[in-house]
Every structure is written in structure tokens, then in C-alpha cells.
Chains A and B, each alone.
Chain A
Amino acid sequence: MKKIVVVGYGPAAHRLVEALLQRGFDGRITVIGEEPRPAYDRVALTSYLSGVSAEDLSYPVPEQAVVRLGSRVTGIDRQARVVTVEGGAREPYDVLVLATGSAPFVPPVPGAEHAYVYRTIDDLDAIRLAAKEAADGVVVGGGLLGLEAADALRSLGLRTHIVEMSPWLMPRQVDEGGGSVLKAHIEELGLSVHAGAGVQEIVTDDKGQVAGLRKPDGTIIDAQVVVFSAGIRPRDELARASGLEVGERGGIVVDSAMRTSDPDIYAIGECALSGGMIYGLVGPCFTMAEVAADRILGGGAGFEGADMSTKLKLLGVEVAQFGAMTGALDVTYMDPVAGVYKRLFISDDAQTLLGGICVGDASPYTSLRSFVGKPLPAPPSDLLFTGGGAQLELPDDAQVCSCNNVSAGAVRSAIADHGCADVPGIKACTRAGTTCGSCVPMLKQLLEKSGVEVSKNLCEHFAYSRAELFDIVRVRGITTFSELIAAHGDGRGCDICKPAVASILASLHNGHVLDGEMATLQDTNDRFLANIQKNGTYSVVPRIPGGEITPDKLIVIGEVARDFGLYTKITGGQRIDLFGASVDQLPEIWRRLVDAGFESGHAYGKALRTVKSCVGSTWCRYGVQDSVGLAIELELRYRGLRSPHKLKSAVSGCARECAEARSKDFGIIATEQGWNLYVGGNGGFKPRHADLLAGDLSTEELLRTIDRFLMFYIRTADRLQRTAAWVESLDGGLDYLRSVIIDDSLGICADLDAHMSQHVATYQDEWRATLEDPEKLSRFVSFVNAPGVPDPSIVFATERGQIKPVVLS
């Protein structure tokens, strides 16, 4: 059995292990990592400061590998083929892979020991701690990582400066013109840019605390936090000490098979020097990992350099660069007012696209990157003005996903040969779009062009999606199903469209779900305001807002359950479910409950279910906010709100998250300053952690944001689409969602707000209303010709002291 030892546990190492296992390697893999945690997504590192946890950033640890965290490898005995680990442990290998990554470059200036770097989660923790005592921060380095670090300091509330040696920002990605547009964007956000400036020293005060950064011209930028983010240096010290060949300026020399000068030792990722280049982008590093895995297992793959094209969004500005940054001819479009700069480089015969730079609008990147080295698909001015033209036909060999090296041809084959009919399908099949996600719009275009007809029709009766029907009902002021299907549908409906339309009508008009024709549209649960069980009986769930209940009310529930012989169970949503009621019993049960002050819990509806809470700051010694109070407020605000699917929520009173808010459609976690709002979580069949939508909100801001989130979801989601799938389906994702419901980019927020106010103002308890209406009550009988006669098919046995259903066959 072959033994593979991997030194370093970053993204490249993770990808290597994954690739080995995927290719069927069944020997022993040992991964030795210096950091105290498994590999994580460094591309998303900044999100850690906005509340995404280290666990969320982490890649899953493969079960088949032995992983040693917090361990440093001290030496390699190449003769004996053994690595030694700090503390003396020895790990023999047949194949050794060095994936030691890189370290931030810290220039040797006086005071540099007081500066921070920006690479690991521990670095971020240290910066966050330092920022608590600081007002100003400065980042040395105006490249990609420098701007990310600057964004991090800004998000920590510091007045932020950026010092860059070159005359403009991001000199490796953009030219001077692009740099000036980028600078304007960044200054607009309140950051100060010092381009063409260096660092002479880090200045400290008489207590030894950092006070600022002195530039070579003698001027001082006041700052209490200094972060160096001025490039990386490959971690090649282990290789160097073991006598492996390293480059003059660092980096472990590898051939196209990713092999070092010792054929049993490979190097991948940022520590590897391939063709004289160090690659600091995740895409090429993943490719190296795949190549090494293939070679280790006897394949013939090779790494022949990588496309260093980049597209990213830094501090809210899109920046992209692809292909060459020079050319015989170039065409430039610049709009300083809109903050857009686009430039294409073209061969001297004006036939071939060589490369391009975009700032403020990266759309040409998506459409044109694949045409580098190929004939221009359209006149350059068209390409710049139309945003690149989504209609361009990509050649099969064009690379769509650079992170995972997936071509347009591979995506087309996934669609045509493997039947992938949507973006998630393509992701699963090809891995395209699974790393940075920037190619997802392209995947969609390829899908659309492939002619895959994804029918959005609700059912045979309506040639519309739910969202389209919602608009029709809203705009035309339609109030009944019959009116809608006569004018816009076919036939008399079915179990798919009727409840969907009932939900739309209820969302818009908030009338009683059993009023008139509405009653005929409802699934049996809404029709009897209870949850049907396998034997045709129903269960009853009274609302217990926030899970808080008085002893007297608990006793009432117990008495009702005892008197009607119901099976009782505590639910996952901090309520009590009473099972085994016949339709005839439901009104009698509810009369007792309503008299005691209970109301419908809507457990039967596609509606708000429950807002779970932990006990919060009132009792808990760790709590920082009153989570129970907020949960009750939210539950009472949104109770009865009909939606495309059920809605669950929870509020946690501190970051320990005892209420499991991040598994909910909208979850709230208390912070010292207010509330963090997470959306799109799900448990169940396909668990998903909710994403942070907005942080540190006041209660008022929180309610407004949730109001809009829910109403926007109700208007635009598909039938039975939970918020998790809905959020994932939004073009532009969370950023788009924020732009709509926080920045009001569609101008609909006033409308959404008014809609929610109307819901809150017109809410009524539907069980109380039912009890007050003899016509509605008359429907709660087992037999129309024998009211009061119990259904003889309902039979119970006993188990653990309670009833259980027996289905007669």
C-alpha cells in the first residue's frame, strides 16, 4: 500500500487529497498542517469578519485521510523517505507532496515587527482585536490582497489608508487609466489612497504602541494598525533545507508533472515555481493539485502554465483583466462619471483579440475572455459598448471556469450527454462554477443557448410560473380562482395550481382561507386548519410564540389532550403537537384552546410556522440581547403570512447560537451592537446554512429588512420553493438581494413595506374566525348525512401510554 504524505493543509492540499480519492487511490494519505484548523477558502477570507464562521469557510475534511493539525514538519530525510514532525514524530512516505503555500512579504523596515499580515484566520483575529482599540488603519500594498485587507479594516470601522509603491492601484491587473478610475471608486468610499509611495518606518509612541507610518518623504500617516499586504513569498524553507532545487528568488522548482528535483517529491500551489512563475491564484493551484494527483497515480497530465485572468469585486468595484495587457492596437472606453473603464488590446492587423482590462463593469470579461488569441467576434466598439454582447457564440475549447479548468465544450457535453438541465446540475457534473462562481452567468447562457427548455409552467392549467401568476393577480386585481382560470388558464385546476393560487390570493388579500370558493382550493390541511396524518386524523398545533408559555397554558394543553385522548409530542419548533383528532373534534378542541387564549399555529399552512428562541440575555449569563422578546415580536408580526412554502425562523441571543437560527429561512443572531440577519437557511432534505444578509442591525432596521425579504420572496419565488433554493436561484445572489431590499434598486421597497403593513394590520386568527362562522363550522363533519357519527375507520392502539393509529386495510 502506497503512503502519501502531504505537507501543508491549504486549498491546494485539500484539492490534491480530493483528487487522489476521486481517482480511486486507496493507500494511506497523511496531511500535516501548521494551522490549527483544516483547509479553508482563503478567497472568501474577508467574509470571516462579517460573521461567516471558520467552520463555514472550511473545506470538508476527507474521512479517508489522516489529518494532523497544528503540526509543523521540521525536516525531510530523503534517503530514508521520512518526514520529521515537531516534537519528534516521524512519518514515512512513498510519495511526498509539498503544499506549504506562501507567507506574506514583510519589507525589512524599522518597526515592521509591529505590523500585521493578512493571510490566515488567526491573522484576522489579531487584526480584529487590534482594531477595537484603533481609529485609523493603513494597509501597505494596493494589489488584490491589499485592497481586500483595506476592505477588512474598513469593515472593522477604521479610517483606512492604502499605500502602494506603484503609481496606481492593482498594477498587475490594470493600467494607469483603469487605476485612476479604481482610485476614484475607492476614495468615494472614504478610503485614502497614497499611490507612488513607500514605507520608511513604522512609527511608535513612547509606550511602544504603533502611532503611524512614515513615508519616504517624511510625512506620517496616523494609524494604530498597520497591515502589510505587499506580495507573497513562497514557503520553500523545508525544500531548501532538504537540498531540493529552489529558484533564485524563491520557490520550489518543479517540472510540468509538478515533480521537484527529487522524483518522489512533488510541490504544488503557491510554493511551487513552475516555468519560472509563482502562481498566487486559486485556479492554477487547483490545476497543479489535479496534475500532481494524476501523475502520482501513473497518469500523464501536465501543467503548462495558467491563464492568470482575474475577475473580482473589491470594495464593491468590479475589476477584471484577461489575456495580454499590451497590444499593437487598443480601444478604450472611459466614463469617469459612471466610474467605468474598459480597454481591449488587439493585434496589429486588428483581427485578433489579445486581452483586456475592465474597471467598474466586468461584463466584457465574461464574454470575451474565451476569445483571447482568436478572431474578434465583433467590432471592438460594439464589444465595449454592449458590455461584450451576451449573444457571442463561445468556441468549444474556450475556458468557461478558470478555477476548475472547464471548457465550454465540457459544459455543452454535460447538458447534451448527461442531461444537466440547470446550473446546479452542471456544477455537480463538471465542477464549473463551484469555486469563485464568477462563471455562473456564462453557464446560464450556455444552458439557454443549448435549447434546454425548462418549462416554468405551473401545471397543465396555467402556462405561467408562480411569480408570473402572482403579478397577474396583483396587477389585474383578481380575487378568485375562477376569475383567474377563466381569463388566464385552462380547465378547472388541480392539486398543484389550486393551493398555489390560494396562497397568492391569501398573500395579497389576507382574507380567511375558508371564505367562499377559497375553501375549495385548499389542500386538506388548510381546509381543516390542521395537519392530516396517515390514518386520516389530524394533528393540532397551537401557537406558542417564541416557545414561551405560562404554566397555566401548559396545563390547558395537557387537559385538552387528556380530555380528547390525543397523542402529544414536543415539536422541533418549541411547540406541542396534539395528534389523533377527527374532523368532528377539531372545532371542540379549538373552542377550548381559543378560550384559553391560544390561536392557530399555522402548522398546516405554507406560512410562518414558528420563531424558535434561546432563553437570551434575560436569564442566560452569555446572552447579549433579549432573544425571546424578539422571537415573540417576530412571530406575532408574521403569523398567518401565506407564502410559497413554509417559513421557519429562530433568534439566538449570542454567537453560541443555541436556537440554531442559521438553519432557518430567516435567522437572527444577537451581537453586542444589535442583530445579525441570516437568510436562506434550511434543515431537512438538503441542509443549508443561512447567509449573512446584514449585520449589527437595530430592531427597527431588522424588522424592515425582514419585511422586505419576505415580501420579495413571496412575490418572486416558485411554488414550493423554500427561501434556500430561492436565494440560490437569484441572479446575482445575495448582492442582488441586498441591492433590491436594502438599496431599493428596483424602487419597490415602499410597495413591499406597504404590503407587509397591510398584512400585519389585517391579521386575524383563522380558528377564532372559523368558530364564529356557523357555515364554516358545518363543514367539520365526518359524514354529511350523519353529523355526529364518528368515522368507524379510525381505530387506535396503545403504545408507551398513548394512542397510535391503526390503519385498516
Chain B
Amino acid sequence: MSWVNVCGYQVLQPERGVCALVDGRQVALFRTHDGVVHALGNQDPFSGAYVLSRGIVGTRKGEPTVASPLHKQVFSLVTGHCLDEPAVTVPVYQVRLDGELVQVAVSV
């Protein structure tokens, strides 16, 4: 596993996701209101389109979430589980801050 620099922390606007290309994979990054950064796979498993980073970030019963912009299924930013259809999940990537730099872990 290695950490890949993605972008500056300030580039991440609270509750507005972005997508990063990490080792050929599309990773959706979200900075929540409390300042924590989450990383999920960008592909929406329901439609197959790579769009989750463009969904609306919010909370459901306190859990941070993103809603797919295509058909509004809601995913946990923590576990990657779809809260509307628990059998469906998206990958969760480890993410950390190195100073001002956001880094995502990819398995080698």
C-alpha cells in the first residue's frame, strides 16, 4: 500500500466533492462540514456512470452521506454502504492529510 498525493486540502470545498484519478482509478473525495476528508469509488453502482463526486453531501441520522446525482441513492461516506439498498456498496479508500496535502492510499 502506498500513499498518493492528490491535492491541497484547501482545494476541497466543504460538502462539495471532487474526483481524482489515482493510479487509473476514479476516487471521489469529500470534505465534510466538520473538516474530515472521505474517499469513495467514483462509480455509481446503480447506473455504472462515474459521477458520485458530483452528488449532494449531507447527513442521514448523523452519518455523513453523498447522494448519487443520477437516481439519488444515498451512500455512507464512512462505510460505502448504500443506505437505501444495504446490499450495494462502493469501495472506501483510506485518506489522510500530510500537512496541507491530501493523500489517498492505493494497494500496490
Residue B37 CB within 8 A of the other chain: no
Please tell me if A532 contacts chain B, counting CB pairs below 8 Å: yes
CB atoms of B26 and A793 under 8 A apart: yes
* A520 in contact with B67 (CB, 8 Å): no
Q: CB of B7 within 8 A of chain A?
A: yes
Query: Considering the complex, which residues of chain B in the window 16-62 have a beta carbon less than 8 Å from any beta carbon of chain A?
Result: 16, 18-22, 26, 29, 32-33, 43, 47-51, 54-62
Q: How far is the CA of A508 from the CA of B77 in the complex (A)?
A: 32
Query: Chain A residues with Cβ under 8 A from B62's Cβ?
Result: 491
The distance in angstroms between the C-alpha atoms of A601 and B52, with both chains bound, is 26
B80 at the interface (CB under 8 A from A): no
Residue of B nearest to A783 (CB): B21
Q: Is the CB of B69 within 8 A of A534?
A: no
Q: Are B59 and A784 in contact (CB under 8 A)?
A: no
Select one of B6, B11, B26, B54 contacting A527, CB under 8 A. B54
- Complex Cα spacing A789 to B22, Å: 13
0/1 interface trace, chain A 508-531, chain B, CB 8 Å (1 if under): 000000000101111110011000
Q: Flag whether A329 is at the interface (Cβ < 8 A).
A: no
Complex CA–CA separation, A125 to B58 (angstroms):
60
Which residue in chain B gives the minimum CB-CB distance to A516?
B13
Q: Which of A521, A535, A791, A807 contacts B56 (CB 8 A)?
A: A521
B63 closest partner in A (C-beta): A491
Given the interface pairs A494-B74, A519-B13, A520-B15, the reply to whether A785 lies near B56 with Cβ below 8 Å is: no
Q: How far is the CA of A482 from the CA of B51 in the complex (A)?
A: 25
Across the two chains, which residue of chain B brings its CB closest to A583? B54
* Cβ < 8 Å to B, chain A residues 485-507: 491-495, 497-499
Chain A contacts for B48, CB-based, 8 A: 807-809
- Contact flags (1/0) for A691-735 with B, using CB distance below 8 Å? 000000000000000000000000000000000000000000000
Contact present for A523 and B69 (CB under 8 Å): yes
Contact partner of A495 (CB less than 8 A), chosen from B18, B22, B72, is B72
Which residue of A461, A498, A535 contacts B49 across the interface (Cβ within 8 Å)?
A535
Say yes or no for A204: interface residue by CB 8 A criterion.
no
- How close is A460's CB to chain B, nearest CB, in angstroms? 7
Chain B nearest CB, measured from A268 CB (Å): 52
A456 smallest CB distance to B (angstroms): 20
Chain A residues contacting B70 (CB-CB under 8 Å) are 532, 534, 536
Contact B56 A536, beta carbon cutoff 8 Å: no
Question: CB distance B60 to A494 under 8 Å?
Answer: yes
Most buried by A among B21, B29, B58: B58
Query: How far apart are the CA atoms of A779 and B54 in the complex, in Å?
Result: 11
Q: Decide: A520 and B14 in contact? CB cutoff 8 A.
A: yes
CB neighbours of B49 from chain A (8 A): 534-536, 793, 807
A535 to B51, CA, bound (A): 9
**Given A498-B56, A519-B13, also A783-B51 (CB < 8 A):** no
Task: Report whether A493 and B7 are in contact in the complex, using a CB–CB cutoff of 8 Å.
Answer: no
A779-809 vs B: 1/0 string, CB under 8 Å?
1001111100101010000000000000111
- Let me know if A784 and B11 touch, CB within 8 A: yes
Contacts of A498 on B, CB cut-off 8 Å?
56, 58
Q: How many chain B residues touch the partner (CB < 8 A)?
A: 39
Rounded to whole angstroms, the CA-CA distance of A792 and B22 in the bound complex is: 13
Which residues on A sit within 8 Å (CB–CB) of B5? 785
Residues of chain B contacted by A785 (CB below 8 angstroms):
5-7, 20-22
Q: Which residues of A lie under 8 Å from residue B32 when comparing CB positions?
A: 492
Bound-state Cα–Cα, A497 to B64, Å? 15
- In the complex formed, the residue of A with least CB distance to B65 is A494
Bound-complex Cα distance A257 to B32 (A): 73
Least CB separation from B54: chain A residue:
A524
A491 neighbours in B (Cβ, 8 Å): 58-62
Contacts of B16 in A (CB 8 A): 519-520, 779
A416 to B67 CA separation, bound complex (whole angstroms): 35
Q: What's the nearest-Cβ distance from chain A to residue B76, in Å? A: 13
Which residue of chain A lies nearest to B62 when distances are taken between CB atoms in the complex?
A491
How far is A452 from B90 in the complex, measured between Cα atoms in Å?
39
Taken together as a complex, chains A and B put the C-alpha atoms of A393 and B33 apart, in Å, by 51
Shortest B70–chain A CB gap in Å is 7
Instruction: Assess whether B19 is in contact with A784, with CB atoms less than 8 Å apart.
Output: yes
**With a CB–CB cut-off of 8 A, which chain B residues contact A791?**
26, 50
The answer to whether A532 touches B69, judged by C-beta atoms less than 8 angstroms apart, is yes
Among A461, A499, A534, A784, point to the contact of B29 (Cβ < 8 A): A784
Are the C-beta atoms of A783 and B74 separated by less than 8 Å? no
Check if A495 sits within 8 Å of B59, measured CB to CB.
Answer: no
Q: Are B58 and A532 in contact, with the CB atoms below 8 A?
A: no
Q: B50–A536 contact, CB under 8 A?
A: yes
Q: Closest CB of chain B to A647's CB: distance in Å?
A: 22
Do B56 and A495 touch across chains, with their CB atoms under 8 A apart? yes
Distance between Cα atoms of A519 and B57 in the complex (Å): 11
CB distance from B40 to the nearest CB of A (A): 14
B47 contact from A520, A524, A807, Cβ within 8 A: A807
| Complex interface: chain B residues within 8 A of A523 (CB) | 56, 69
Provide the residues of chain A in CB contact with B72, threshold 8 Å.
495
- Within 8 Å CB of A536, what residues of B? 49-51, 54, 70
Contact A494 B58 (CB under 8 A): yes
Contact A493 B21 (CB under 8 A): no
A-side contacts of B29, CB under 8 Å: 784
Given the contacts A524-B54, A532-B51, A534-B70, A492 and B21 also touching, CB distance less than 8 Å: no
Closest chain A residue to B15 by CB distance?
A: A520
- B68-83 CB mask vs A (1 if < 8 Å, else 0) is 0110101000000000
Contact check: which of A493, A519, A524 meets B59 at CB < 8 Å?
A493
- Chain A positions within 8 Å of B, measured between CB atoms, are 460-461, 482, 491-495, 497-499, 517, 519-524, 527-528, 532, 534-536, 779, 782-786, 789, 791, 793, 807-809
Task: Please list 15 pairs of residues, one from A and one from B, whose beta carbons are closer than 8 Å in the complex, sorted by A's number.
Answer: A491-B61, A492-B57, A493-B56, A493-B58, A494-B58, A494-B67, A497-B58, A520-B56, A528-B54, A532-B69, A536-B54, A783-B20, A783-B26, A784-B6, A809-B48
Which 3 residue pairs are nearest across A and B when measured between Cβ atoms? A524-B69, A495-B67, A494-B58
